[in-house]
Chains A and B, each alone.
Chain A
């Protein structure tokens, strides 16, 4: 594997976008600001080419059954400490800047740099004339750097580096229009909610080290072993105990980054960022990091039934919950944001029901069609003077003829219209869920129905029907996203409306092709078999089989969810195929029903749709206000913490100083004055307070 060109020069994949970011950020100032997209185009484009060649090279390598494809490259040691005594012996905490290359990484890299490149191209058109043009591109480059580190990192700390790094870029880009209080607050919220998840992730890293003495996934080039390998061997008692908790700690991080309940609240607000950012970071790449992490660390998860069920149930609940909120949102980007949360829930279900290959497959197709949808709504916003409210526009298919088709493709893929990409990937998850539990499967089918409905509600409302184009630009407090200024500037320049510039449409066409045919990536289980050669999936399947051999003979089929080749009898094969066909037909039918219902209520007879809402005002209000979750968090978490901060500050000022004052006063009154004070005032009492405090501490310690 090391002979591949892309592997020999793999350091360039993260490095080129970083160099681009530095050039764009520090050198494209003043007059050169308008050139800021060039370093990023070149950097991200080159790393996309390298990633694709890596993927291609890996697919053509001869593969050895059960051995897997992986290669670790160490660059330098980042954090090295002396040895600590752990339950399992003396270990040093050693973190290298090392990259791991396997099929999972290759697929993720292609998504990140590929979609990333298309979006940088789009952004050059979309962000034209913006004041912070170079800042925007510098942050995009930094994001790609961090995200590639995330998916290439060969140990938990490198993953954490990328993890927090993309969180930073997300923070900076959500807050791109930093003068808008809404953008500023959304940025802060995103960072802090993610930090709650990172708290779990961080502790997970420490627990991993405590239990295994290493944080490396599969060891390094020096021949040490990694914890994902160790977890497949026999474990000592401490490790077994640790594995009861470790998945839950890591999971918390994944829920934060991938916006799952209860940590999803930051993602809808994140739409305050410019639309390309929403497409790249908050739909296609960063938010899928949680799915990647659980797939990567599968070995420590699969042995823990409770953890896997938690992931599946949280995913299913989030999928349904977010889909219901999406039913009553009016802002295009908000609909897609909730839809993203919902689709991420699908991916978690896939991972949770022991079918991570299906989860990753959905991740890939979702990256295509969701990026397409976001960017298309960006075009809409560009043309509609910053308006995104579907109540203010209707039937704009003639204004934006190309975008209309692109949007239709994206919507159909998201809705799971038969034979489009979303159909195949969603179907695999639903089938896997049905196999695990009927209830779970039905919840997923219900969610799929709602998805089809809300997606086409949006499409029919905005693009079909009588033409209504909003005249006045959106006000700053709404969803102007600060874009009106740039837009007007462009109008003056071109002298006429040019709603669909080529720079913006071309990347969309590529994405649309992906959304149309992406489903065939897994034709004949091709992608599954490729991913199955990832050491993560091989090791996970091994753990699973070892576990199930003890209980029943079912372990063999479970390995299929990990892309492992499974020899089945002809009869079993037939049953499986029949089952899959049935699920396909059902889910295709359900998608069509959803689209049909949306057609009835939002195109054929809009009055009926409005009347339906009017009949259940309370429910509609509950959905519009997103179940009041933000308000609940504010009242239950933020305010009490702030209040306790104020309380402590008062305590600092009054009580501690007051006690000091009092203690300073007592000796004065009590005749100790000569001994303790040589000056007047209360300050001399501090020494005594301290003495007393120490006496109290000693007393407590001695008596404990």
Chain B
């Protein structure tokens, strides 16, 4: 039981090491798929063995003594609660699909590519399993390296510039996060032993820091997370990175890597900033989210490149996700965690479908493609389904999380009705740009660059006349699991909501009060005061 998490991390790591010595390109991709499927199976086993009755408790706890460094309080401490569990499941679910999607579209240096994918998988899982702040940071940064190479080597025309921009943007910002981590870990509790243990650090930060110090630590932490998420106005690396990355890179980038930012915010920044600094910053962060929601949607609407459109939609969507977090109430944060998962599924799926279109026509230009539904009805079905999921149609997954994050903001003591109302405008705009894309690409008279009879390309299914045909078996097999997940989480979101309620409530409590009773802690009257204040204000309104 205790070794489960270690196994989960070791499988992709060892897999990557062994993968470097694969005899052929074909063997290496089979190997990578096998390893990622094994990881997914292990993640499934975690779900089966997880004790949902105590979902807020960190389980599969594992802290090998050989890796402890007492001088700085570092240890390789792994454990997960149900929030981490579901994000691990998301990661382990998306990676095999991404690898399968690379099957034919990655043609050069394949062994290397698949090794990097497995390293990426290892790093992402590590972030979600880490209970040590430094370990978290190490994994957090480790994800950059494989992604840097995946974009820089296997990307599109501007891949090197995109990779560099991606790396410098996220790296330089997370240096600030690192500074914050060191500060809070080493100096937060003068006199006591330095510790990087997450719970200890959070307790130090909440009790040992002055509000002023807390604010600065929080800002330093947020800097790195905000770029990763990305929040407006530090989002400009994202559209470029997405456009240039290969399909699988985009899927992982949107599906999981962006969630590292929101996860870090949820797991580290929010608790450290409680109960003063975060409440203080929440309105400012909320405004950035709202700007991001509207701005991202409007910019997405005028894109010519479908992939860039989906990329900008992420800017808009992550605005909802962070809005739910800074609402700082159970509804908002539960919605936000669900949003992380749902966004990973539906945006990941959208990137996959866009990649399948690109594989066939070698263009993503909205002006060059039209009426594809005539040629590819199966692809059209999937694209419409994932679009509907993305625009929050009730019955599909996106609706629940979108609704809950807005409801969280709406009922929040930090934000309030105004924030909810502006965010709800995003419901309209989200439909505007997505349906614009669907209308242009799928509907209307058939138009593709191939219809002048140019010869087909190696890696797409072909219809009899040499033109690219509808989705093949492999592609359908990639999309069906996503479609099932999209419907399942739309109909039964409680699978996730119920299980994350306890850990979310725990997160939102000051760390002294660990169990069901909310203990008002003296010296933290500010938070309590604000809430009573709201009630009074609410009545007056």
- Chain B residues touching A, range: 35 or more
Taking the complex as formed, is B227 at the interface, i.e. its CB lies under 8 A from any CB of chain A?
Answer: yes
Note all chain B residues with C-beta closer than 8 A to A237. 539-540
Question: Are A184's CB and B374's CB within 8 A?
Answer: no
Taking the complex as formed, is A157 at the interface, i.e. its CB lies under 8 A from any CB of chain B?
Answer: yes
A574 to chain B, nearest CB (A): 49
Note all chain B residues with C-beta closer than 8 A to A579. none
Tell me which of B301, B334, B424 contacts A645 (CB under 8 A).
B301
Question: Are B539's CB and A178's CB within 8 A?
Answer: no
B135 to chain A, nearest CB (A): 24
Note all chain B residues with C-beta closer than 8 A to A77. 494
Question: Are B427's CB and A202's CB within 8 A?
Answer: yes
Q: State the CA gap A78–B399 with chains docked (Å).
A: 12
Question: Are A687's CB and B175's CB within 8 A?
Answer: yes
Note all chain B residues with C-beta closer than 8 A to A93. 331, 404, 407
Note all chain B residues with C-beta closer than 8 A to A646. 302
Note all chain A residues with C-beta closer than 8 A to B410. 203, 206-207, 210
Which of B30-66 touch A at CB < 8 Å? Answer: none
With A79-B400, A168-B393, A693-B234: A687-B374 Cβ-Cβ less than 8 Å: no
Q: Considering the complex, give the chain A residue whose CB is closest to the CB of B410.
A: A206
Question: Are A81's CB and B404's CB within 8 A?
Answer: yes
Q: State the CA gap A693–B219 with chains docked (Å).
A: 11
B163 to chain A, nearest CB (A): 11
Question: Are A179's CB and B169's CB within 8 A?
Answer: no
Q: State the CA gap A701–B277 with chains docked (Å).
A: 11
Question: Are B394's CB and A179's CB within 8 A?
Answer: no
Q: Considering the complex, give the chain B residue whose CB is closest to the CB of A648.
A: B299
Classify the secondary structure of A's interface with B: helix
Taking the complex as formed, is B386 at the interface, i.e. its CB lies under 8 A from any CB of chain A?
Answer: no
Q: State the CA gap A236–B539 with chains docked (Å).
A: 8
**Chain B 466-501 near chain A by CB (<8 Å), digits 1 or 0:** 000000000000000000000000011110011001
Taking the complex as formed, is A196 at the interface, i.e. its CB lies under 8 A from any CB of chain B?
Answer: yes
With A80-B494, A645-B298: A192-B165 Cβ-Cβ less than 8 Å: no
Question: Are B427's CB and A199's CB within 8 A?
Answer: yes
Note all chain A residues with C-beta closer than 8 A to B491. 78
Note all chain A residues with C-beta closer than 8 A to B233. 656, 693
With A86-B411, A188-B435: A238-B539 Cβ-Cβ less than 8 Å: yes
Q: State the CA gap A641–B393 with chains docked (Å).
A: 23
- Chain A residues touching B, range: 35 or more
Question: Are A202's CB and B299's CB within 8 A?
Answer: no
B301 to chain A, nearest CB (A): 5
Question: Are A684's CB and B172's CB within 8 A?
Answer: yes
Question: Are B431's CB and A192's CB within 8 A?
Answer: yes
Q: State the CA gap A202–B168 with chains docked (Å).
A: 40
B464 to chain A, nearest CB (A): 16
Taking the complex as formed, is B436 at the interface, i.e. its CB lies under 8 A from any CB of chain A?
Answer: yes
Q: State the CA gap A192–B435 with chains docked (Å).
A: 9
**Chain B 193-225 near chain A by CB (<8 Å), digits 1 or 0:** 000000000000000000000010001001100
Question: Are A188's CB and B428's CB within 8 A?
Answer: no
Q: State the CA gap A195–B284 with chains docked (Å).
A: 28
Note all chain A residues with C-beta closer than 8 A to B239. 652
Q: State the CA gap A195–B391 with chains docked (Å).
A: 10
Q: Which of B256-264, B350-358, B437-445 contacts A (4 or more CB under 8 A)?
A: B437-445
Taking the complex as formed, is A686 at the interface, i.e. its CB lies under 8 A from any CB of chain B?
Answer: yes
Tell me which of A165, A206, A236 contacts B406 (CB under 8 A).
A206
Tell me which of A82, A209, A652 contacts B330 (CB under 8 A).
A82
Taking the complex as formed, is A389 at the interface, i.e. its CB lies under 8 A from any CB of chain B?
Answer: no
Note all chain B residues with C-beta closer than 8 A to A649. 299, 302-303
Q: Which of B71-79, B100-108, B413-421 contacts A (4 or more CB under 8 A)?
A: B413-421
Taking the complex as formed, is B318 at the interface, i.e. its CB lies under 8 A from any CB of chain A?
Answer: no
Question: Are A81's CB and B444's CB within 8 A?
Answer: no
Note all chain B residues with C-beta closer than 8 A to A666. none
Q: State the CA gap A530–B440 with chains docked (Å).
A: 49
Which of B14-36 touch A at CB < 8 Å? Answer: none
Q: State the CA gap A78–B395 with chains docked (Å).
A: 10
Q: Considering the complex, give the chain A residue whose CB is closest to the CB of B172.
A: A687
Q: State the CA gap A694–B175 with chains docked (Å).
A: 14
Tell me which of A184, A642, A660 contacts B302 (CB under 8 A).
A642
Taking the complex as formed, is A612 at the interface, i.e. its CB lies under 8 A from any CB of chain B?
Answer: no
Q: State the CA gap A476–B387 with chains docked (Å).
A: 29
Taking the complex as formed, is B453 at the interface, i.e. its CB lies under 8 A from any CB of chain A?
Answer: no
Tell me which of B172, B335, B394, B498 contacts A161 (CB under 8 A).
B394
Question: Are A191's CB and B330's CB within 8 A?
Answer: no
Taking the complex as formed, is B95 at the interface, i.e. its CB lies under 8 A from any CB of chain A?
Answer: no
Question: Are A202's CB and B219's CB within 8 A?
Answer: no
B433 to chain A, nearest CB (A): 8
Note all chain B residues with C-beta closer than 8 A to A184. 439, 443-444
Which of A203-230 touch B at CB < 8 Å? Answer: 203, 206-207, 209-210
A649 to chain B, nearest CB (A): 5
Q: Considering the complex, give the chain A residue whose CB is closest to the CB of B436.
A: A188
Note all chain A residues with C-beta closer than 8 A to B113. none
A57 to chain B, nearest CB (A): 29
Note all chain A residues with C-beta closer than 8 A to B395. 161, 164-165
Question: Are B394's CB and A157's CB within 8 A?
Answer: yes
With A82-B504, A84-B411: A165-B394 Cβ-Cβ less than 8 Å: yes
Note all chain B residues with C-beta closer than 8 A to A665. none
Question: Are B168's CB and A238's CB within 8 A?
Answer: no
Q: State the CA gap A241–B345 with chains docked (Å).
A: 40
A243 to chain B, nearest CB (A): 13
Q: State the CA gap A700–B281 with chains docked (Å).
A: 10
Q: State the CA gap A154–B435 with chains docked (Å).
A: 30
Question: Are B236's CB and A657's CB within 8 A?
Answer: yes
Taking the complex as formed, is A160 at the interface, i.e. its CB lies under 8 A from any CB of chain B?
Answer: yes
With A188-B435, A206-B420, A690-B173: A85-B295 Cβ-Cβ less than 8 Å: no
Question: Are A178's CB and B393's CB within 8 A?
Answer: no
**Chain B 156-185 near chain A by CB (<8 Å), digits 1 or 0:** 000000001100110011011000000000
Taking the complex as formed, is A198 at the interface, i.e. its CB lies under 8 A from any CB of chain B?
Answer: yes
Note all chain B residues with C-beta closer than 8 A to A684. 168, 172
Note all chain A residues with C-beta closer than 8 A to B164. 683
Question: Are B172's CB and A203's CB within 8 A?
Answer: no
Taking the complex as formed, is B505 at the interface, i.e. its CB lies under 8 A from any CB of chain A?
Answer: yes
B530 to chain A, nearest CB (A): 11
Q: State the CA gap A80–B215 with chains docked (Å).
A: 33
B403 to chain A, nearest CB (A): 7
Taking the complex as formed, is A697 at the interface, i.e. its CB lies under 8 A from any CB of chain B?
Answer: yes
Taking the complex as formed, is A485 at the interface, i.e. its CB lies under 8 A from any CB of chain B?
Answer: no
Question: Are A691's CB and B176's CB within 8 A?
Answer: yes
Taking the complex as formed, is B515 at the interface, i.e. its CB lies under 8 A from any CB of chain A?
Answer: no
Note all chain B residues with C-beta closer than 8 A to A690. 172-173, 176, 223, 227, 234
Tell me which of A82, A87, A181, A209 contacts B501 (CB under 8 A).
A82
Q: State the CA gap A168–B387 with chains docked (Å).
A: 12
Q: State the CA gap A630–B504 with chains docked (Å).
A: 48
Question: Are A196's CB and B428's CB within 8 A?
Answer: yes
Taking the complex as formed, is A83 at the interface, i.e. its CB lies under 8 A from any CB of chain B?
Answer: yes
Tell me which of B299, B394, B413, B445 contacts A181 (CB under 8 A).
B445
Taking the complex as formed, is A359 at the interface, i.e. its CB lies under 8 A from any CB of chain B?
Answer: no
Taking the complex as formed, is B425 at the interface, i.e. its CB lies under 8 A from any CB of chain A?
Answer: yes
With A82-B330, A84-B330: A192-B428 Cβ-Cβ less than 8 Å: yes
Which of B436-465 touch A at CB < 8 Å? Answer: 436, 439, 442-446
Question: Are A686's CB and B494's CB within 8 A?
Answer: no
Note all chain A residues with C-beta closer than 8 A to B243. none
Taking the complex as formed, is A644 at the interface, i.e. its CB lies under 8 A from any CB of chain B?
Answer: yes
Taking the complex as formed, is B529 at the interface, i.e. its CB lies under 8 A from any CB of chain A?
Answer: no
**Which 7 A-B residue pairs are closest in the complex by CB-CB distance?**
A687-B172, A82-B330, A645-B298, A87-B538, A178-B443, A161-B394, A184-B443
A82-B331, A195-B427, A686-B173 given; 5 more Cβ-contact pairs under 8 Å: A185-B439, A188-B435, A203-B421, A238-B539, A642-B302
Q: What are 26 contact pairs spanning A and B, CB under 8 A?
A: A78-B491, A79-B400, A81-B331, A81-B334, A81-B501, A82-B505, A87-B538, A164-B394, A165-B393, A179-B443, A179-B444, A181-B445, A184-B444, A188-B439, A202-B406, A202-B427, A203-B420, A203-B421, A206-B407, A210-B417, A687-B168, A687-B173, A690-B172, A690-B176, A693-B233, A697-B219
